[in-house]
Structure 1
């Protein structure tokens, strides 16, 4: 690789040659300039640097001393770079994004106004290099946490320049709140028929509301769309979470006259809307303490607040705590919007479904695929909410273990959803119907286990759920005997990821494929031009037609909240969540009769101050299993240190059999290099945090290890979880800290006694004291 100075001079020489300053053929006259390429045997005199451009006495003495070697010295022309701008060639990750960044010389004053971006040379080749085993994997799930090298830092101005311009001050809400005209505040006595106090908002057709914060929304009359999803009148309320860390929720008025309640039973001020086409939206306060997650993970601090701004851009006309109306565009606010191809596709699912599949198929299957950061999860959530207007339940197969929708990362899960979801992923985590613990945010270390888990979940849906009749008829007239499936795939689509993607596609045999395109020129999936499903019909005789979708527009959210931040808040939300209590009379199909979604959060104490479960590892668990690279090298004597502070998965066997006495002799049921059970005979119940370990002596010869475990999983589900599996995931740093203000009279954990953290500088030579540096940008000579 050439240095920056050599690249600068090469580019300058090329520019001069194009302008005719330096001739292509050197002059041969005695008085002409010397050849541009001297003989390699002649020593070159070093050119003075710009900071030493002035002639000094030492330079003159050096020249006089070299007169005797004048025959072997080439006199160079004055440095042309002193009076010109420095041109540095910077290569980004893609050849198409290469640019020439021009800046002033180092000895001049530099400011932002002196920096300009000039168009660079054409790419070396428009064809992308095919994947090879020696080339680093482009892992979308793990590359976000990789160390950033200098080339990425230098390319930041170019990345920010790709973001669309923000029209600050543009109107987001056409709805103009007027008390007594389109905004009505009622107490409990006024709304006795609804049972609780709240605010009724009258939304006309074509009006839009952009909201920030949290609320409970009920559509009493008319029709509206919530984030592009049409809603019909119903007494069922919807929980709305609209933080700054995700696109803000948009409410738009639609045409409709249907009513879910007798308007005459409402206060007299609303009787005039009985025959109108206006929509009556009932808004209530939503108390879940989700705002407290920002105290724990400071990256998300204040994402539900207005930051004290009560002006013409943000107001609170609803008189509900924690709910604001965003009227004008701001730099840190991004409203929800769907690209045209999304709207056209979603509109086709807004009508009641018609059976176009062969009778041999289990049910409709929708597969969403595409590169990372293109909006797959957002589109899949919108599709899910749209299908719930026609089906009483919709299944969701999560194959993206780095950006999971319903569970913490590291799990492939099958969920059955019965209520629409309006909020980011960490606000609606659930206990899945069935799941498998992978233990990592990427399947590159265990691709076989990953595929086995996906296959087992798909077969479980096809046999147990797809055509299973559960419960009574739906009061809204939705289909109850068919449960469609949405398959959300990961964004790793190169190399091994492309092969995994292809196998999943062939496995689920989708009836519809939604394929996101990339804005990169010459983009293909993997190392071939395979788009959509195969050209021949599948085993069921149905040939799907891929629907091409454009990627979601870039926004400031992608730079403010990275995928690693989303994984962190998901884990923090999971361990502080309060899930609903499980019914004693459960349906044979778990979580089909009652979706176990987070109800609220307990953020009063940090994880280091919550009382844990004390569990005897030899009594509660039959096996302790380690997965991931290097796990087979852990000996039995070190298992206690490995489990201390670890994130683990609770796994149960489908056909549990009690172990013999010979397996209970050892105090710790761990066998080195034991593989995890197959997905066909096991399932994951949930995650837990081993906050510490201790040893108690029951007898003089058999000390037992006690695990101090934190988990939101209720005890009824933990009864059959006899396997403890540890993967590669670790607890985020935010989860280890004590966020309480010890200076205000709160007895918090002292800074020096917070578990797993070393405050101050670690003494030199201590094993594990220095941060491990991982270089993912190393390539062989032939790959440069």
Structure 2
């Protein structure tokens, strides 16, 4: 018997399971599969006949499993193998089994069977479509539900847990973003629950960022209907229920969010504790699950039910985010103190601005992705944030997230933070060492409980750390504050390149200039190179609250603002430095001419050659700004930033000033290629600006070439010239020594020779 005939015989022997009877049209429109009972398998690949005929039919039958043979407890299912579906999905069916029987042969070495994600199965009795695109689901005791995409969740009766948060019956909607780049949150219920799902109003805007960068593609649910069906893409549902790992898009790598048993026991101990305001510091190596554990812990503490609550009005958790490289609640290169009053159910790049339930109390700009740039300044910033916590939020629980730098100077910083912040609990997210780090951290916890937990890194590698950081920064500059709606969402996405946005025009010359000055952290730029250094770069916008922020004012040299002018008797430049430094609170305008030097373009530049930094006690970060251009003729800086006019006016009202700080931020290479991707999208959509339409640009795979942005060819074959972008042909390589040179420094690592 040939392999093809044997395969047909095996398929005929399989039992056919009838799908639930429910209105097909309604179910397809809501993105919910009616083929929930079918099990999709990967299309068989061709195999050698000689090898295929050596196996018996019994062995072949074991390669197929019916739904009843899948693991009954999907929580215990381990995602030990990566499964990629290579079959095109049939319209209206999320779990198809379709192969070309004439051209395909059965291969017993096919990938593992799909992972069972949701135990919930759609039927006529547990699903009902309501008006305005809402759908109502009824889940039984112990059932779980995994959804891909963006959606609103409202519990009508009972209670569910998602991302560690317990959601009870309420009229408010919890908004969830669940992209493929992160583990998908699981909706679990212990008793019978009735919940309502609805489309996310901001989902399409976030997805449309994929027209500007491939970083935002291949993350969300695919549309069930084709663009030619006449339906507006914005009217489609923004989520999809996943029954198995094959119910997602093609070639998708899906993983549900799991919390190890050791994590659950530790968090249960915090919930049961009588300490109403614990402070928990989370430490550990990189990619050990610190952010995931911190987010689940925050949600559980936030939604806990404590009978000993003395002040129920103080419902909230304070998060001290001290990781400038991978921050969860602020932009890269910053640390922040954040008040959380609603569960956090989305990745950081989906909420780049403050949203209802997440408010930034105070933040500082380190202007670097690592504390290694200035460890002393990093400690000072952390101490200022913890002081504000103790003064204003001392009765709230505190969760502290730390960087993954646990060796050398990084370990010394963690030991210092434990001594200064004095947390009640220190958790180390690894049980495999290194031993010197565990010993040092445990030794620093004199009056603090120290414990270790197993690491649980995200097994999905669709985006690296630098990609996620770029996505967060890009999302920040494409978010626009808006008037809060009834849904509680108070910002919207701008789906056009930054070059098409109207920038802030900030004067840097004259008496009415809008900025106090410009300074650099970690390195000193020559005055004649300042314009080139900041043009097209990301800067931190810092508010100077008091002249005491310039703590080292005596070290500033008395040089004239006009480099060609001379100091004349009686001029402001002859002001005695001692009088300024000893004044109780001199006005900032008195110091502006004293400590700034004008470049040839007229940009006020603050000399930091001696390592001068702003005092965190008298300054704070307002956010980030991207320098789009410098108008030397009119003396204007063109800045792009989501900072509102009210924020600037508040600074003026308090008598403060604004300084722009440069440092070691990631180069915004994504911003330089937005026009290229946007134009390639628009070449084929006939004036629709590439929003909500699928074209050649959207079909590009997210690979290293797309990330570098080297595709600059238009539809007519011409090539665009883009500043700061190196254009290479497919077979062209960079010359030797053309990559960025990185200087190795002695960061206090063990074993480095002194001197």
- Provide TM-score, normalisation by structure 2: 0.64
Whether 2:295 is the aligned partner of 1:381: answer: yes
Aligned match of 1:752: 720
The match for 1:651 is: 542
Distance verdict in 2 for CA 1:439–1:596, change over 3 Å:
farther
Contact 1:293–1:572 (8 Å) recurs in 2: no
**Bigger radius of gyration:** 1
Does 2:626 match 1:626? no
Correspondence for 2:123: 178
Q: 1:671 aligns with which of 587, 602, 606?
A: 606
How far does the alpha carbon of each residue in 1:755-775 deviate from its partner, in whole angstroms, 9 at most, with x for none?
4324358xx9x9999332447
- Which of 438, 453, 460 is residue 366 of structure 2 equivalent to? 438
User: In structure 2, do the counterparts of structure 1 residues 163 and 201 end up closer, same or farther at CA, with 3 Å as the change threshold?
Assistant: closer
1:734 CA displacement: 2.0
Distance 1:291 1:616 in 2: 35
Contact map agreement 2:79 2:255 (CA 8 A) in 1? no
CA–CA distance in structure 1, aligned partners of residues 225 and 462 of structure 2: 20
Gaps spanning 5+ residues in structure 1: where? 1-112, 114-161, 189-196, 256-277, 311-318, 357-362, 467-481, 538-543, 584-593, 698-704
2:429 aligns with 516
Residues 589-648 of structure 1 deviation map (CA, whole Å, 9 limit, x = unaligned):
xxxxx9998633112x111222211211230111211112xx32x222221111111101
Q: Partners in 2 of 1:640 and 1:343 — Cα distance?
A: 53
2:644 alignment counterpart: 714
Q: Pick from 405, 415, 418 the counterpart of residue 502 of structure 1.
A: 415
Deviation, structure 1 residue 295? 2.9
Cα deviation 1:438-459 (Å, max 9, x = unaligned):
1111111111111111110000
Say which of 143, 147, 151 aligns to 1:207: 143
CA deviations on 1:90-135 (whole Å, 9 max, x unpaired) are xxxxxxxxxxxxxxxxxxxxxxx9xxxxxxxxxxxxxxxxxxxxxx
1:484 to 1:502, Cα distance in 2 relative to 1, 3 A? same
Partner residue, 1:425: 348
Of 361, 379, 383, the match for 1:451 = 379
1:533 and 1:234 map into 2 onto residues whose CA distance is: 46
Number of paired residues? 527
Q: 1:550 aligns with which of 429, 454, 466?
A: 454
Deviations 1:373-415 (A, max 9, x none): 1100001001111111146211110111111001121001111
Q: Among 225, 231, 236, which residue is 2:161 paired with? A: 225
Aligned pair partner of 2:196 in 254, 261, 282: 282
Task: Flag the 1:169–1:505 CA change in 2: closer, same or farther, 3 A.
Answer: same
1:486 is aligned to 399
Q: Distance in 2 between matches of 1:597 and 1:531?
A: 41
| 439-448 vs 663-672, greater mean Cα deviation | 663-672
1:491 is displaced (CA, Å) by 0.6
Alpha carbons of 1:725 and 1:778: their partners in 2 closer, same or farther (altered >3 Å)?
Answer: closer
For 1:597 and 1:364, the matched residues in 2 are separated by 31
Which runs of 5 or more residues in structure 2 are unaligned? 1-50, 52-77, 83-111, 227-234, 247-251, 305-313, 355-359, 548-586, 652-656, 691-711
Distance 1:597 1:494, change over 3 A: farther
- The residue number in structure 2 matching 1:689 is 626
Relative to 1, partners in 2 of residues 1:241 and 1:281: Cα closer, same or farther, differing over 3 Å?
same
Give the match's secondary structure for 1:620. coil
Which residue of 186, 198, 212 maps to 2:134? 198
1:151-182 CA-partner distances (Å, limit 9, x unpaired): xxxxxxxxxxx993355412111100113x11
Aligned Cα RMSD in Å? 3.5
2: CA distance between counterparts of 1:567 and 1:436?
A: 18
Please report how far the alpha carbon of residue 706 of structure 1 lies from its aligned counterpart in structure 2 after TM superposition: 1.6
Correspondent of 1:294 among 210, 223, 233: 210
Query: Cα offset for 1:658?
Result: 3.6
State the distance in 2 between where 1:506 and 1:724 align: 32
| 3-state secondary structure, aligned to 1:412 | strand
Q: 1:505 to 1:579 in 2, by over 3 A?
A: farther
Structure 2 matches for 1:20-31, cutoff 5 A?
A: none
Question: Deviations for 1:741-784, whole angstroms, at most 9, x for unmatched residues?
Answer: 242345899863534324358xx9x999933244769999x989
Contact 2:334 2:365 in 1 (8 A): yes
Distance 1:209 1:399 in 2: 33
Q: Distance in 2 between matches of 1:715 and 1:610?
A: 16
Say whether residues 1:337 and 2:258 are aligned partners: yes
Cα separation, partners in 2 of 1:219 and 1:320, compared to 1, 3 Å: farther
Matched, 1:576 2:478: yes
Q: Secondary structure at the match of 1:348?
A: helix
Whether the 8 Å contact between 2:415 and 2:444 is mirrored in structure 1 is no
Q: Aligned to 2:471, what secondary structure does the other structure show? A: helix
Instruction: Name the counterpart of 1:247.
Output: 183
Secondary structure of 1:564's counterpart equals helix
- Candidates 525, 532, 539, aligned match of 2:442: 532
Q: Does 1:216 align with 2:216?
A: no
